Amino acid sequence: MQASPLKRSWLASLAGLSSLFFLLPAHAGELDGNSQAVMLQGFHWESHESPSWWNVVNTQAADIATSGFTMVWLPPSSDAASVEGYLPRQLYVQTSTYGTEAQLKSAIGALHTRGVKALADVVINHRVGTSNWADFTNPTWGSNAVCAGDEWAGATGNPDTGDGYGAARDLDHTQGFVQSDISTWMNWLKSSIGYDGWRYDYVKGYAGSFVGTYNTNTVPYFSVGEVWTDLNLANPDPHRQLIVDWIDATSGKSAAFDFTTKGILQQAVQYNEFWRLKDSQGKPSGVIGWWPAKSVTFIDNHDTGPSPGGSGGQNHWPFPIDKVMQGYAYILTHPGVPTVYWPHFFDWGHRDAIRALINVRKSQGLTSTSTVSIQVADSSNYAAIIDGKVAMKIGPGSWSPGSGWTLATSGTGYSVWTKSSPPPSGKVRTVIYIYKQTQPGQDIFIRGGHDQTLVNAGYYPSISEPISYLNTLNTTTAGVKAGDTSLDWSSDSALDWTCNAWPSEWGTAKYYTVDGYGQDSENTRGLHWWKFDVEMDGQQGDWFEFKAFLRNSDGSTQWENDITQASAPYSTINHWGRKGYVTFVTFGQSQADFVALP
């Protein structure tokens, strides 16, 4: 029986009738909420070639955070028989081809410092022996851990609850000791290594109910399963129904990758078949049209797409190379939890364009359950309005949302607009967060306003920007603030150190609202985010420049290098901030992102 949108499958025994499967519409249920999460796949198929991939992730942690990513999915970190990690051997050994356990912990720590969560790639469908077919150690299991019918003739477990996997031994998840040992190991990954959640590999190899069990036992921050099966483009509904059924089998405790959306989207952009993106009910035609809160959208991953280095990656089902940004314009404006592939962001030159789309998603408050109103879906365009405040178009044809909209970002084959509204005038609250890891006795200051050349050209009325501090509680910076009434290039403006959670080992917690520094409810990114919190004259959205420097306790200073910020109205050597927004930057780095203040 074909299900109708939104769908979940249930097993019922009706009085007087035989047991049968039937489908019912979804209820609101236990959703992940209106999540603003954006995930980065933190590796590709050839990442193991790096001397230490964990060090690469560590180095990029600041960029990952300031770009707006909230989660990073890392490659399998256990000892394995394959260099990529997908033939796990000794689960508790966390030194692998990606680097040492210490380097892994350091990379996760760097992400955590910046408020980014780390997901482990959990490969538990199968396992290989330490030296032969099934001599499992660390943890040690016997032949009854292997499903009956496995390629290994010595298997004595119960029948497999999913598809077989020929390259390794299929694990019998019906065994209590297997469930217990896997749960214990996963909790150890959280407590000892620092992982926050899970990406479940090859989940079609065992019943989805076991993922529900493991999530119950480990309480992950987030989890997502890989349900990858063949897609029939002539009738994609059974494909997305299968993914929805798997989510339902976990009791809604895990999200799943939206392979349906990937397949339909790449077909649409490659052959101008944009009509495929609208189903018979007028909804998006992937899993995001049925159960968006549990859908994780993506363009490519380590299996489907290419990778830099080595043999070029797997390329099993690649997204059209010249249409990648059209794909991101779709998933980063639509519901679901969007995922960005590492090479697209760091290696293909799409970093700034993807950042701009993430910024629109964050600043406009789009979420995993945003509402999509499809405007056009034909042979030249797909256009939609999301939550009534973001409009987007992909395809070669012409389309515009009309008056009352402002173009936010665009590129070859795509455009994204935000709703125009008259900005309030007068005093506008404005916040800057600057990430800089510091030591006691070090402080961060800024100078700014506008470049004299731009003032002379008539773009701005004056060099300085009048300010009024909204936080004067910090005794360390109170003296500077008392005499500072403008952001200008000749005097210092003070920032206050903040964190999202005060470390317990530091003793009595300090709070921004009480002490003027310390734990700050508006800081969601971690330790060492220095905050400038003021009112400025002007209108919401007005631009201004600034540059930061560090002052040591002995009075010596360290200025930032010149900045080349992409998301700015003009080219200068300084950061750009926006009135009425929270501006996030990293000391000495050019990227910035903005979140509108209410």
Catalytic residues: 201, 226
Burial class (CB in 10 A: 0-12, 13-18, 19+), 589: middle
Cβ-count burial 440-452 (b if 16+ within 10 Å, e if not): eeebbbbbbbbbe
In what helix (H) or strand (E) does residue 487 lie, and over which residues does it extend? strand 486-487
**Concatenated DSSP letters of 418-485:** EE--PPP-SEEEEEEEEE----TT-EEEEEEE--HHHHHTTSSS-S-EEEEES----HHHHHHHHT--
CB of 465 closer than 8 Å to CB of 537: yes
Residue entry with tokens 């995001």 = 288
197: region left, alpha or beta (phi > 0 left; psi from -120 to 50 alpha): beta
The answer to whether residues 208 and 224 touch, using CB atoms and an 8 Å cutoff, is no
For 548, the token pair is: 């930061």
User: In the chain, count of helices (H) and strands (E)?
Assistant: 12, 30
- Specify the DSSP element, H or E, that contains 409: strand 405-411
Distances (CA, A) of 64 to 60, 453, 582: 6, 33, 18
Q: Which residues contact 572 (CB under 8 A, 6 or more apart)?
A: 451, 454, 545, 563, 565
8 A C-beta contact, residue 396 and residue 413: yes
Q: DSSP secondary structure string, 317-386? A: SPPPGGGHHHHHHHHTTSSSEEEEEHIIIIISS-HHHHHHHHHHHHHTT--TT--EEEEEESSS-EEEEE
